[in-house]
Amino acid sequence: MSNFIKNANWRYATKKFDASKKVSNEDLETLKEAIRLSASSYGLQPYKVFIIDNPELRAKLQPAAWNQAQIVDASQVIVFANIVDFGDEQIDNYIKNLTTTRGIELSSVQGYADFMKMKINPLSKEEKNTWTSKQTYLALGNLLNAAAELKIDVTPMEGFEPEKVNEILGLNELGLNTSIIATIGYRHEEDMTQNFAKVRKSNEELFINI
């Protein structure tokens, strides 16, 4: 746990990446596995994750992300896109995966499938969109922690126009919406923010013991 805290203190939202440095394929696979293993509501993982390396595509995305340099300078751009209108199809796919993975009969989990549909289907499309979008932040948390252990920098970004990103990536046709973006890579030695003291609330101000 001491290493976890050290890593948490090491990481920060990098403002300037070293564009000459790339995350290795091995480390990228580790980060992908960390994202894949993230917790999610009912275990449904109601999102897709796009890993964007293509420089031309990233140049198109930059104006939609407030022209932030990290979009083009980072090693990769990761887009977490939530499923907008989650429903029976996605639940049935999950149940199929569950029964295959665990080698069990559908009948043994049919009640669980019906329960999820009973809870999720009555939600409005807007409510579903909000719920699935929240799940992407859990995956982002796993990415942040795994990357810090590998000494890979990550900048979570909410500073973008979802409609424009969706259009550029063709997400509307896929029933997806850009929820959160993360750029990954290595901090530039000229990024002065890496030397700033981390500002957080004190334990006394943040925690309430009941």
Strands (E), 23-174: 47-52, 76-83, 153-157
Report how far apart the first and last C-alpha atoms of the chain are (Å, whole number).
25
- Is residue 100 predicted with pLDDT exceeding 70? yes
| pLDDT above 70 coverage of the chain, percent | 100
**pLDDT (0 to 100) of residue 169:** 98
Strand 176-185 relative to strand 153-157, pairing: antiparallel
Residue pair 59/72 in contact (Cβ under 8 Å)? The answer is yes
Tell me the average pLDDT across 199-208. Answer: 98
- Is residue 120 predicted with pLDDT exceeding 70? yes
Q: How many CB atoms lie within 10 A of CB 9?
A: 11
Buried-exposed string 80-90: b where 16+ CB fall within 10 A, e elsewhere: bbbbbebeeeb
For the chain, list the domains and their CATH numbers. Answer: 14-85+125-193 (3.40.109.10)
**pLDDT (0 to 100) of residue 179:** 98
- Is residue 30 predicted with pLDDT exceeding 90? yes
Going by pLDDT thresholds of 50, 70 and 90, the confidence category of residue 200 is very high
**pLDDT (0 to 100) of residue 152:** 98
Dihedral pair phi/psi, residue 80, rounded to 5° = -95, 115
- Is residue 1 predicted with pLDDT exceeding 80? no
- Is residue 176 predicted with pLDDT exceeding 70? yes
Q: Which alpha helices (H) appear in 158-198, and where do they start and end? A: 162-169
The 10s digit of each residue's pLDDT in 142-173 is: 999 999 999 999 999 999 999 999 999 999 99
**pLDDT (0 to 100) of residue 2:** 82
Tell me the average pLDDT across 57-86. Answer: 98
Q: Report how far residue 49's alpha carbon sits from residue 32's, in angstroms, rounded to the nearest whole number.
A: 9
Closest CA to 153 of 9, 3, 35, 13: 13
Q: Report how far residue 177's alpha carbon sits from residue 137's, in angstroms, rounded to the nearest whole number.
A: 14
